[in-house]
Amino acid sequence: MRAPLRLLGLMFVAGTLAASTTAATGAPPNDDRANATGIGSLPATLSGTTIGATDDTRDPRTDCGRAHDTVWYRLSGAEAGRLVLRFQAFGDLDAIVAVFRTARSRLIPVTCTATDQNGRGALSFPNAGESYLVLVGRERDSDDGKFRFTLFRQEPTSKPPGPRLPARGVSSWVDPITDFDDAWSFTMRPGVAYRMNLSPARGRCVTLSLFGPRTRSFSAAAPVHVVPCGGYFAYTPGPGAGGRYTLLVTATDQRPGRQRYHLQAAVEGPDDMSPGLPLPNLGTRTGTLSATRIDVVDLYRFRVENRSEVVLTLRAFAASRLVLLNENGRVLSSSDGPGALTATLGRGLFYVAVRATGGGHGRYRLSLLERRLTTTTILANGLRSAIVSPGSSVAIDVAVNFSPAGRIRLQIDRFDPLTGWHFYRLFRLQVGGSGHAVLSWRPPAIGHWRAHASFFGTRTASPSESGTARIVVEG
């Protein structure tokens, strides 16, 4: 009995020591999310610790990994604008820092970071004047420890209007922590159409904002146009709106590090804007595009006089596409990548844009094939259903509307009451100048027969199929 009693005594002592250690250490006051430490006016510097903190099963996961022994901070009422958080962990603490936007009881992830080999980390995020929670915890295999972080507003470092944008554009970079924005200026005249293209590095998101010529402060002015994640757009200044505009490039991607981009602006050329270049039927146009430079899109026009089948064929690099529009700018069809785009169009003026996408660049060839829609009809002795006597000939007339020439495939079938319809004979005919092809055919036996015609089409007329003409030979 002595050994068990001694074991129980040791367990009691150990439990007492653990309890006393926990009591001595104590959990941080912001261990629970409901008791998050408030962050006052900015800039603010706060110190904290994960020592004594506990894991909560309700703690959200982050994109930077699972945080343990978490503590919480709350930010609310801060003026809208981009915020930067710089973090320093002490001792052997490898920390995870995450920001969440609060919506009632839900936590919506905003951004996160993990400390580097020196215990440092940094992140930035756009503050919309809402409430946010900042989580700090240790990585799974890390020791607990103390830390300090500073939260401050990130003001634009650039001033309008900025240096002039070179004619060939500029390749540079921004960083969400150390170099938040770049300002470049570009002079525009009223009534002149201009094109602009911001091409971020693949996998990155960089914003382009266009500010008017009288902008004195980016924070006090509203941009006239914004491209949230880079891209191509056109702009024409209105009356009295000419001058030196500012193109402000800002880091949008929350990940620290250089976010490279190429920015270029130029006057629109005849192949960039309406009315575009003419694209003749049976014709081919060639050009060169680049999604990372200023020649991103070329515009062509063509006119359809009669209801037609239109085939637009693009031979180009993989990252390219066609967009077909009517004269009111409504998109009728599009195709991703090179190949053929087919549409049935009525009378009118139409446009087709060739666009480089996803970093694509190179030469292309665009061809137009416009074929008027045809209808093919077939009659036997002038009727859809003819009755003839044995040995009589039948005049089979095939008519093709809107095509003065072309080949026809005429198929005749016979009917067997036991097994149904069976192929009998095939004829190949040529449409004459009148749009008709006539065959005199003598049925070899009594019974039921049928004839069906297919028009193969031409370069200017579409294929079409007829219905059937029935022939009954009475015996």
Task: Render pLDDT for 108-128 as a digit per residue (tens, 0 to 9).
Answer: 999 999 999 999 988 888 888
User: Residues 414-423: pLDDT tens digits?
Assistant: 999 999 999 9
Arch. (CATH architecture) of 280-372: Sandwich (2.60)
- Give the strand pairing for 297-304 and 348-356: antiparallel
Query: For 247-279, what is each residue's pLDDT tens digit?
Result: 999 887 766 678 999 999 999 999 999 999 999
Q: Where in the chain is the domain with CATH 2.60.40.10?
A: 375-473
pLDDT confidence of residue 122: 86
For residues 225 and 214, what is the distance between their CA atoms, to the nearest angstrom? 15
| CATH level 3 topology of 375-473 | Immunoglobulin-like (2.60.40)
pLDDT tens track for 295-333: 999 999 999 999 999 999 999 999 999 999 999 999 999
Joined tokens for residue 94: 């490898």
Three-state secondary structure call for residue 79: coil
Q: CATH 2.60.120.380 region(s) of the chain?
A: 29-153, 170-267, 280-372
Q: pLDDT tier at 10 (50, 70, 90 boundaries)?
A: very low
Mean pLDDT, the chain, whole residue set: 91
| pLDDT single digits (tens) 395-449 | 999 999 988 789 999 999 999 999 999 999 999 999 988 899 999 999 999 999 9
Statement: residue 8 has pLDDT above 60:
no
Highest mean pLDDT: which of 14-18, 19-23, 76-80, 144-148? 144-148
CB 46 within 8 A of CB 149: yes
> Which one is the CATH code of 29-153: 2.60.120.380, 3.10.310.30, 1.10.3720.10, 3.40.50.10490?
2.60.120.380
CA 257 vs CA 121, 174, 179, 226: distances in Å: 12, 8, 10, 23
Q: What is the pTM of this model?
A: 0.69
What is the Cα–Cα distance from 317 to 357, expressed in whole angstroms?
10
Q: Peptide bond preceding 256: is omega within 30 degrees of 0, i.e. cis?
A: no
CB 133 within 8 A of CB 59: no
- Taking the domain 170-267, which CATH number applies? 2.60.120.380
Q: Is the pLDDT higher at 324 or at 220?
A: 324
| Mean pLDDT within 361-383 | 96
The band of 25, judged by pLDDT with boundaries at 50, 70 and 90, is low
- For residues 366-377, give the mean pLDDT: 95
